C-alpha cells in the first residue's frame, strides 16, 4: 500500500454487506468521518453478485482461505499498550459450507475457451480445460454445522475422459471420516458424465419427430460468463417495503435500475400455474371458476382492512393461518394460492395474525410499480450495497478492500474500543466501530447459535412455465412435501435482468436449512427441472427445463442474534448480521436504522439529498461560514458518459 490510511475517524465499519453499507451511507451523510473496509476483494460480502468466472473464483477463494494458517500475533501485540487489551478478529470466513457444483452442459474437448472481455485467464477457463475422474457418489456423510468449505481442487487432464467429467473436491477437515460412507468424508463437486448411472438419467428413446433445440454448451457459458450476475443471496424488493422507501428518500435509487417481477407462480398437484394477483388478473384467470373468483376477491378485500373487523378473526388468533383459511370456506385451490403464493407463509408455523399481515402487505404493494408487489435490481442484488457505498463515498467516506483487521484495541479502564490494528500494523482510531458478524472470533461467538440457509443456483435453458414471452421474471413457492418442513422459494430470472446470457435462465432456490443444501433442495429441483444430457428423454421430461449447471451451498444466517449473545464486546462496537432467509430486505434496513439511531440519536437517518443551490462544489469560490449556515461539500456530478451508462432497460424509482 503506497500511502497509509488516515489515523483518525469517527466511525470505522468492517464489512460491506447491505446493513453495513446502509450505515456507512447514513453516517457519512450526517457528516461523520467514515472508514469502510473489507478483507474481501469485492463489495457486498455474502450479499454480493458475481460473473460466472467470478463465482468460480469465489469458490476457489474458500480453499485458499482455509489453507491459510493462523498468522503470528506477536507483530501486532507489540502495538498494544499496558493500559489496553486486544480482541482478535477471525482470520477465516466460515459462513459458507457444503458447496457442490454440477455441470450437465456438454462441451467440445478441443475448445480452449476464454471469457469475452476477460483481462486475464479466468478460473472458469481453467475449469473447462482440466479434467479429473468422476467421483461416483450420490450421498453425503452427515456434517456438523461447524464444518466449512475447505477445498476446491482440480487435477490433471485425462484425454480418455469426456470433458464433462470435471471433478472438484471439497474436503471437510473438521469431520472425522466415517467407514462405509460415500465420498469418504468429502463433499463432491463435479459434473455429470454420459455414462454415470443416476436416478435422474433419462431413458434413451428415438424421438426423431421432436424438433431439437440448439443446446447451450459449457463453453458458451464460459465465453458469455460476464453476462451472468449471480447473487449469493436471493431476494426481491417489496414495492412498498422499507428498502424501496429508503432508496427513494435518500436518492440512492438514482444509482440503480429495477424491473418488475412479472409473475407469481404456484406449484400444485405437480403442475406450475400462474397466480392471479390483481382484480383484473383474478377475473381474467382461466384457472378459477366464477364462484372461486368471487370468493377470492371477497377474502382479499377483507384482508386489506382486517383490523377493522376483529370479530372475523379474534377467535382464531391462536390457530395457524392455514386452519383459519379453511373456516373462510375457501376452496383447496384458493387456500393454496393464498397461503403459498400471496401470504408466502409456512403452513404449520404461521399464525392467523401473521398470515393476515402478510396478505395485506402483499396487496398493498400491488400496483405501485407494476402488476406484482416485487421489483428486482438490474445486474443483481449485489448492486444495492454498492449503491449505498457510492453514496457514502460521495459524502467523503473512504473505502479500502482487501484490507484485513487484526484486532480491536480496548481501553482497560473505560472498557471502550479506541482503535483497530490492520494487517499493515497501522493503528486507526475511531469513536465507534461497526463489524459484520463473520469477522468476530470464535471466542466472541462461542455462545451464539447460528441458523443456516440452503441455497441452489441453476442455469437452465427455458422457463418453468413457458409463455409467448421469454422475458419473464417469476417467483414460485414450492410447499414442503412433509409437514413441518420448510417451503422452498424459487426465483427465476431472464436475460433482460442482466443476470444471465441470452436464451438462458438463472434460477435461485432458497429455504431454511435442515440438512445440507443439496439434501434440502434436490427434491424440488427434480420436480421442476431435468438434467441436460445428450441422450433423448421421455415426453414428460421434455416439458421441463434442462439444467445446464448447478451450485448448492449452505450460508450462515446470523439474523435475530441478540447483542448479549456475544462475549466481551465493548459498548461502542456494534454488530451487523449477514443475510437472512426472508424474501425481502426488511431485516437489514431495520437493523441499520436501529443501530444508527442508537449511535447518533439526534441525527436524521439517511435524509433527502440537499437542494442543488445549497451545494458548493470543490473549486468553486468559497463563501465564509456564518452562524446558522450549513455548507455541504459534495463531489462533482457524474459525467455525461457516466450518466448514459445508467440508462438501461430498467427503470429508476420515483415517488
Burial 499-529, CB ≥16 within 10 A → b, else e: bbbeebbbbbbbbbbeebbbbbbbebbeebb
Percent of the chain with pLDDT over 70: 73
Question: Is the distance from CB of 536 to CB of 202 less than 8 angstroms?
Answer: yes
Tens of pLDDT, residues 266-279: 998 889 998 887 77
Give 332: exposed, middle or buried? Use CB within 10 Å, 0-12, 13-18, 19+.
exposed
| Three-class DSSP labels, 589-622 | HHHHHHHHHHHCCCCCCCCCCCCHHHEEECCCCC
Query: Over 90: is that where the pLDDT of 415 sits?
Result: yes
CA distance 479 to 520: 13
Q: Which residue has the cell 443551490?
A: 613
Residue 46 has a CB neighbour count (10 Å cut-off) of: 24
Q: Which residue has the cell 436475460?
A: 495
Mean pLDDT value of segment 295-301? 90
pLDDT at 348: 74
Lowest mean pLDDT among 35-49, 93-107, 476-490, 616-630: 616-630
183 vs 514, more confident: 514
pLDDT at 175: 35
Tens of pLDDT, residues 533-572: 745 555 555 688 999 999 999 999 999 899 999 999 999 9
DSSP letter assigned to residue 625 = P
pLDDT at 365: 92
Query: Over 80: is that where the pLDDT of 188 sits?
Result: no
Burial 343-362, CB ≥16 within 10 A → b, else e: bbbbbeebbbeebbbbbbbb
Give me 91's grid cell.
Answer: 482470520
Residues comprising the chain, all counted = 655
Tens of pLDDT, residues 141-181: 333 333 333 333 332 333 333 333 333 333 333 333 333 33
Going by DSSP bridges, is the β-strand pair 271-274/263-268 parallel, antiparallel, or unpaired?
antiparallel
pLDDT at 586: 95
Taking the mean position of all CA atoms in its chain, how far away is CA 453?
A: 10
pLDDT at 561: 92
641 vs 281, more confident: 281
Torsion, CA 133, CA 137, CA 143, CA 146, rounded to 10 = 30
pLDDT at 620: 52
Question: Is the distance from CB of 45 to CB of 17 less than 8 angstroms?
Answer: yes
Q: Which residue has the cell 476457489?
A: 60
Strands (E), 239-291: 258-260, 263-268, 271-274
Lowest mean pLDDT among 108-122, 499-513, 535-549: 108-122
Lowest mean pLDDT among 136-150, 202-216, 222-236, 268-282: 136-150
Query: Over 90: is that where the pLDDT of 468 sits?
Result: no
pLDDT at 624: 42
Query: Over 50: is that where the pLDDT of 312 sits?
Result: yes
Give me 8's grid cell.
Answer: 483518525
Give the three-state DSSP class for 258: strand
Mean pLDDT of the chain: 79
Mean pLDDT value of segment 442-459? 94
Mean pLDDT value of segment 420-426? 91
Q: For residue 250, what pLDDT band results from cuts at 50, 70 and 90?
A: very high
Mean pLDDT value of segment 194-217? 50
Which long-range contacts link 172-179 to residues 24+ away (Cβ below 8 Å)? 172/143, 172/147, 172/148, 173/66, 174/144, 174/146, 174/147, 174/148, 175/141, 175/143, 175/144, 175/147, 178/141
pLDDT at 482: 81
Query: Over 90: is that where the pLDDT of 457 sits?
Result: yes
Q: How many CA atoms lie within 13 A of 396 on its CB side?
A: 17
Note the pTM of the prediction, 2 decimals: 0.81
415 vs 65, more confident: 415
Amino acid at each position: 500500500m503506497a500511502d497509509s490510511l488516515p489515523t483518525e475517524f469517527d466511525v470505522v465499519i468492517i464489512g460491506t454487506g447491505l446493513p453495513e453499507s446502509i450505515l456507512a451511507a447514513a453516517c457519512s451523510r450526517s457528516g461523520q468521518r467514515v472508514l469502510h473496509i473489507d478483507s474481501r476483494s469485492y463489495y457486498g460480502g455474502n450479499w454480493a453478485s458475481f460473473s460466472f468466472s467470478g463465482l468460480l473464483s469465489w469458490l476457489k477463494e474458500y480453499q485458499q482461505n482455509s489453507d491459510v494458517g493462523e498468522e503470528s500475533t506477536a507483530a501486532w501485540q507489540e502495538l498494544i499498550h499496558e493500559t489496553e487489551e486486544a480482541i482478535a478478529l477471525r482470520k477465516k470466513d466460515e459462513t459458507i459450507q457444503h458447496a457442490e457444483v454440477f455441470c450437465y452442459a456438454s462441451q467440445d474437448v478441443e475448445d480452449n475457451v476464454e471469457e469475452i472481455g476477460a483481462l486475464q485467464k479466468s478460473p472458469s477457463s481453467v475449469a473447462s480445460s482440466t479434467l479429473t475422474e468422476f467421483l461416483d457418489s450420490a450421498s453425503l456423510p452427515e456434517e456438523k454445522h461447524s464444518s466449512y468449505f475447505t477445498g476446491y481442487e482440480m487435477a490433471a487432464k485425462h484425454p480418455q475422459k469426456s470433458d464433462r467429467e470435471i471433478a472438484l473436491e471439497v474436503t471437510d477437515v473438521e469431520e472425522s471420516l466415517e467407514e462405509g460412507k460415500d465420498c469418504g468424508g468429502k463433499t463432491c463437486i463435479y459434473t455429470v458424465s454420459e455414462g454415470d448411472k443416476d436416478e435422474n438419467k433419462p431413458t434413451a428413446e428415438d424421438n426423431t419427430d421432436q424438433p431439437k433445440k440448439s443446446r447451450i454448451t459449457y463453453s458458451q457459458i464460459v465465453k458469455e460468463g460476464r453476462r451472468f450476475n449471480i447473487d449469493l443471496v436471493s431476494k426481491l424488493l417489496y414495492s412498498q417495503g422499507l428498502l424501496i422507501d429508503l432508496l427513494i428518500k435518500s436518492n440512492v435509487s438514482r444509482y440503480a435500475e429495477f424491473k418488475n417481477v412479472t409473475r407469481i407462480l404456484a406449484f400444485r398437484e405437480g403442475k406450475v400455474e400462474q397466480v392471479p394477483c390483481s382484480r383484473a388478473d383474478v377475473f381474467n384467470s382461466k384457472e378459477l371458476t366464477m364462484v372461486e373468483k368471487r370468493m377470492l376477491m371477497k377474502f382479499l378485500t377483507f384482508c386489506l382492512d382486517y383490523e377493522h373487523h376483529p370479530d372475523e378473526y379474534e377467535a382464531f388468533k391462536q390457530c395457524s393461518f392455514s386452519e383459519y383459511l379453511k373456516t373462510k370456506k375457501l376452496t383447496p385451490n384458493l387456500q393454496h394460492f393464498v397461503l403459498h403464493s400471496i401470504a408466502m407463509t409456512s403452513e404449520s408455523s404461521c399464525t392467523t395474525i401473521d398470515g393476515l399481515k402478510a396478505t395485506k402487505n402483499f396487496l398493498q404493494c400491488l400496483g405501485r410499480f407494476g402488476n406484482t408487489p416485487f421489483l428486482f435490481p438490474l445486474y443483481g442484488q449485489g448492486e444495492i450495497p454498492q449503491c449505498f457505498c457510492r453514496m457514502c463515498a460521495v459524502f467523503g467516506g473512504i473505502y479500502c478492500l482487501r484490507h484485513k483487521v487484526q484486532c480491536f484495541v480496548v481501553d482497560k479502564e473505560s472498557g471502550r474500543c479506541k482503535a483497530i490494528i490492520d494487517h499493515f500494523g497501522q493503528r486507526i482510531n475511531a469513536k465507534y466501530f461497526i463489524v459484520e458478524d463473520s469477522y468476530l472470533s470464535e471466542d466472541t461467538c462461542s455462545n451464539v447459535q447460528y441458523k443456516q440457509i440452503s441455497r441452489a443456483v441453476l442455469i437452465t435453458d427455458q422457463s418453468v412455465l413457458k409463455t409467448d414471452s421469454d422475458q419473464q421474471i417469476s417467483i414460485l413457492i414450492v410447499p414442503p412435501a412433509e409437514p413441518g418442513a420448510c417451503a422452498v422459494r424459487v426465483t427465476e430470472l431472464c436475460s433482460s435482468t442482466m443476470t444471465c446470457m441470452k436464451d438462458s435462465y438463472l434460477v435461485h432456490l432458497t429455504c431454511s436449512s435442515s440438512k445440507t443444501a443439496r439434501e434440502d433442495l434436490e427434491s424440488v429441483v427434480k420436480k421442476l427441472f431435468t438434467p441436460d444430457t445428450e441422450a433423448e428423454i421421455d415426453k414428460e421430461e421434455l416439458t421441463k427445463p434442462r439444467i445446464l449447471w448447478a451450485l448448492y451451498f449452505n450460508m450462515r444466517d446470523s439474523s435475530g442474534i441478540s447483542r448479549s449473545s456475544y462475549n466481551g464486546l465493548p459498548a461502542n462496537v456494534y454488530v451487523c448480521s449477514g443475510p437472512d432467509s426472508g424474501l425481502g430486505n426488511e431485516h437489514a434496513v431495520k437493523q441499520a436504522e436501529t443501530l444508527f439511531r442508537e449511535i447518533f440519536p439526534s441525527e436524521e437517518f439517511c435524509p433527502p439529498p440537499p437542494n442543488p443551490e445549497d451545494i458548493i462544489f470543490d473549486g468553486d469560490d468559497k463563501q465564509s461560514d456564518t452562524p446558522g449556515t450549513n455548507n455541504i461539500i459534495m463531489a462533482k456530478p457524474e459525467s455525461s458518459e457516466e450518466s448514459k451508462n445508467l440508462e438501461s432497460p430498467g427503470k429508476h424509482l420515483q415517488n
